[in-house]
Amino acid sequence: MQRLSQSPTDPAFVQNPYPFYDRARAAGRVVWWEDYGLPCVFGHAAANQILRDRRFGREIPLEKQRPIAPHTAPFYAIEAHSMLELEPPRHTRLRSLVLRAFTARRIEGMGPEIEVLARDLIAAFPDGPFDLLPAFAEVIPVVVIARLLGVPEGMKDQLLNWSHAMVGMYQAGRTRAMEDAAASASAEFAAFLRAYIDERRRAPGDDLITSLIAAEEAGEKLSTDELISTCVLLLNAGHEATVHAIGNGVAAILSQGGPKDWLSPDRREGTVEEILRWDPPLHMFTRWAYERIEVMGHVFEPGDQVGVMLAAAARDPALIEAPGRFDPGRPVKTHLSFGAGLHFCVGAPLARLEMLRALPVLFELCPGLRLEGRPGYAGTYHFHGLSALMVRR
């Protein structure tokens, strides 16, 4: 196994990680990333195999579990009930109950609201240069999930603050200050949701929290702790990923001179999939080996952890021709930007819907939208999103 070094906080890597991905993919099917102390896979075939193999999972094996630092306890108290971090049978039970409430019909019903929200936000755009992220990309996902959950829309700024602080726990080079902020946000968010869930138990509404409370299968229901973790997951994972997907997508389209006919009704789905493939919001997802498993000639022992490089897999030349070119006209190929297998992103349909409904409205009402300077990426790896997206109408 070849060993490669690349700091994930290096400014050049933050702005463009893809040259390193290409180098790592060429170095072997499984490569040791020194800076993480992990074997990682950068090709599509290996990534797809690991994500779909039930002998790999997210739950930390008992022999690898370490004591939780007391100052991070509020964060990990939520993680303990998150289906993102669990395996069957707990994962099966949680996901089944969540999907009984988070239905395709409920998600699809948000389409007209997303378009109206997009139009309202665009109407408030200033005439001069402005940052599209806080004016548009950040607002749509948080307002949509607030409306779905039934949480007061006026809390969107507080929800954003909690979300930003908590996802700092997943970033490379996190500091004690980031951990303290995440713990504080976790405690505050959990306390708010606990009170709000109690209120919904007494006075049900027409919202996702009420549906999650009522969801039942074979006599099983979600506990309050599980409800809290699910709501946090839907906001944090869904919001952070969708903001970056919208921002990265608009930047990609504008860097090519505008949308052309890429967002016409018969082409917009392909354009959204190309955005998600070409510059996805999440670049790395890890798995633990539960058995002795051979992948692409490398043997993983029980307790080994592996980094699955989602964005690198999407630019594998074995998957797609000229993978480094942004081309919404190319035939749609299956990508791994939302994961695959047991932990395929439960919020993927909502993220796709937000992009499918909001992006055409943006370019319809702002046909002359253009970049003001070169967009820069924030140092938030494993998330890959812009620090700002300065544009002019």
pLDDT one-digit tens code per residue, 199-228: 999 999 999 999 999 998 778 899 999 999
Domain 3-392 has CATH 1.10.3430.10: no
CB 212 within 8 A of CB 222: yes
Which helix or strand (DSSP H or E) is residue 378 part of? none
- Phi first, then psi: give them for residue 298, nearest 5 degrees: -105, 135
Residue 237: pLDDT band with limits 50, 70, 90:
confident
Q: Which residue has the tokens 């490569």?
A: 31
Start-to-end Cα distance in the chain: 50
How far apart (Å, rounded) are the C-alpha atoms in residues 160 and 176?
Answer: 21
How far apart (Å, rounded) are the C-alpha atoms in residues 295 and 46?
Answer: 7
Average pLDDT over residues 329-339: 91
Which helix or strand (DSSP H or E) is residue 48 part of? helix 44-52
The pLDDT of residue 21 is above 80: yes
Residue 110: pLDDT band with limits 50, 70, 90:
very high
Nearest-10 Cα torsion for 184, 188, 189, 190: 100
Q: Which residue has the tokens 């937000």?
A: 354
pTM of the model: 0.94
Q: What is the pLDDT of residue 338?
A: 95
Q: Is 333 exposed, middle or buried (0-12, 13-18, 19+ CB in 10 A)?
A: middle
Q: What is the pLDDT of residue 82?
A: 95
Q: Which residue has the tokens 């919404």?
A: 328
Q: What is the pLDDT of residue 236?
A: 86
